[in-house]
A and B are shown apart, each in its own frame.
Chain A
Amino acid sequence: MSAIPATVARRRGRDPWRRPRFLPLLAWAYVAWSIVPVLIAVLFSFNAGRSTSVWQGFSLRWWFGDPSAGESLWYNPELRTAIAQTLRIAGLTVLIAVPLGVLFAIGIDRWRGRPPAAANFVMLLAFVVPEIILGVALFLTFSFLLRSVVHLGTTAQVIGLATLQIPYPFIVVRARLLTINSDYEEAAMDLGGSPVQAIRRVLFPLLVPAVFASAVLVFANSIDDFVVVRYLSGSAPTEPLSVKIYNAARSGPPPSINAAASIMLSVSLLAALLGWTAFRWVSRGRRIRSARSALVDLRV
């Protein structure tokens, strides 16, 4: 850094190049503002009273309390079914969206011409269209045109979520492909490998971290989603946790809903943590982008 121009400093009476004071305050206040309300909501799942806004002491009542009342999360069969349904549709969505998105990314990256440009366009369109539009469109499709093929419920939910999520593995893997030089595959084939071997033994291993990251992303997104899933739910047992929370939240929810939301939150965070650990482990010793930039890229 060059020296501070003395005239500037004197004219203003203070150093204009000093470290800002207001900015860090704003930044850390924002971070607190973005996270503290959620922590408070988790706290209220341990409230002794029925309120979600007035603290009445600590209790585990809404988590494990009184089986006969059926008011606690643990003994509420409806919420337990919902948790199982959430995990089921999120898992199935990963199994569909990740392979489709990854293969699509590789194909689009290598295939030149007009058709891939058009396919890329449709994929990006699916990414930017507001969720409610996709949700209503699929709801109408499964209620009329494909009525006898796809029934509202698990199948419809998984199709909806997969359509919503395919762009994520595509974007994450595409970004990684742009940084991979095809010299590796070239070398594999110079050494006598077949194209299939080059893809299977060289390209795929290079993509593993990106594929893993996108799987975690899709899983967490699918657990959190409720817009598409709500329109595509059939009978009450097919409603996942997010939909139950949403329905309850509109009419004076008890703290057991906070407990349910806390479960949803923990599963997402656990997936993120697991993904991050695995990401570190898979990419150990290899020169890839730093974990920090990956962390940011993952969600942009």
Chain B
Amino acid sequence: MRALRAETRRSGVWYPRWLWPSFASPATLWLIVFFALPFYVVVSVAFGTTDFFRNPLPVYQPWYWSFSSFTSVVGRFAGAQPFYRPAFLRTLIFVPAASFICLVIGFGIAYYAARWAGKTKGLFLMLLVAPFWISYLMRIYAWQGLLQQAGWINKVLDFLHITNTSVNWLEGRPVTVIVGLVYGYMPYMILPLYAQLDRIDPNLLEAGRDLGASPARIFFRVTLPLSRQAILAGLVIVGLPMFGDYFTNDLLGTAKTAMFGNLIDNAVQNPGEGPQAGSLVLLLTALLLVPMAYYMRSSRRLGEQSS
């Protein structure tokens, strides 16, 4: 009887059949027009042509598509004149490096918040969430002032005798950009890790301890395996936007540290490069397809678990 009732309730027998679809349709329609359709436009621009003044001419009929712009863009990554390759390789180094640093430091912080914060837990969590309410722009901009040659970072480093000549941190140094990325995306790593670590039953750790395992062994055999999902999710959450990031480098680096996002942004800003911009967006989307699919699958699984 109970099961039957649950069934009828869930299938919405009491509500008219059209009711729930009508709730979902406005946003669905919105996403079709302003999310799915724009992707088609990107494809049409990437596989389109340009007119005499180098304005892009999108081609909406697939049978007229020309792949000359697209192949020339691909050629800039792989061909004889690889203009785009350095930025691409840089992205492939910067993003994993920054994501990994985020993971190592973020795990420690999330672990502290979940296990050891004690009475200060509420305050600590509030401070962890605070950066989310501060715009990314403001947070990176703050570093621009600090990292200037006469800025406070150099003052501190001089004071500690770590460097005795003033370093120009903003002249296109990979270290600056990587630290900027870590700074910008760290909060996105900590929260999923915290949510997972907080859910681990302390009894499991205690059981390990009672059975004679060392703290390190408990960490590697219990805590780490139980947080695998959150680690992967965190890496994807910080990695995906980093691949499209151009502003961190714009504010803290130069053309010497340009990333994939900068290639796209430059192409958009230059009037004649519409097809290139479209092609680059397509390539980035293709590159990120696997991590995006993974993230969506894992978040759907989480949703099923909690329902």
Contacts and interface: CB of A to CB of B under 8 A. Distances in A.
B187 A34 contact: yes
Given A54-B151, A116-B24, A130-B244, 6 more contacts: A23-B112, A37-B139, A40-B145, A163-B35, A178-B303, A242-B135
Interface stretch (A57-65, A102-110, A205-213): A102-110
Nearest to A226: B137
B108 A17 contact: no
Interface stretch (A66-74, A77-85, A265-273): A265-273
Interface in B17-31: 19-28, 30-31
A121 B261 CA distance: 25
22 contacts: A2-B209, A19-B116, A27-B112, A37-B139, A37-B143, A41-B145, A52-B144, A52-B148, A106-B20, A110-B20, A110-B23, A116-B21, A124-B300, A131-B241, A136-B281, A138-B34, A141-B38, A178-B306, A178-B307, A220-B133, A226-B135, A299-B187
B35 A126 contact: yes
Contacts of B268: 136, 139, 231
Given A23-B111, A24-B116, A104 B23 contact: yes
Interface in B147-166: 148, 150-152
Interface of B: 9-12, 14-16, 19-28, 30-32, 34-39, 41-42, 44-45, 56, 58, 60, 105, 108-109, 111-113, 116-117, 121-122, 124-139, 141-146, 148, 150-152, 183, 186-187, 191-192, 194-195, 206, 209-210, 212, 214-215, 240-241, 243-247, 250-251, 261, 264-265, 268, 274, 277-278, 281, 284-285, 288, 292, 295-296, 299-300, 303, 306-307
Interface residues of A, number: 103
Contacts, number: 295
Contact of B23 (A106, A141, A245, A249): A106
A100 B30 contact: yes
Contacts of A16: 214-215
B135 A170 contact: no
A295 B125 contact: yes
A249 B252 CA distance: 10
Interface in A1-43: 1-2, 5, 8, 16-17, 19-20, 23-24, 26-27, 30-31, 33-35, 37-38, 40-41
B19 to A, nearest CB: 7
Given A54-B150, A246-B137, A264-B138, A144 B265 contact: no
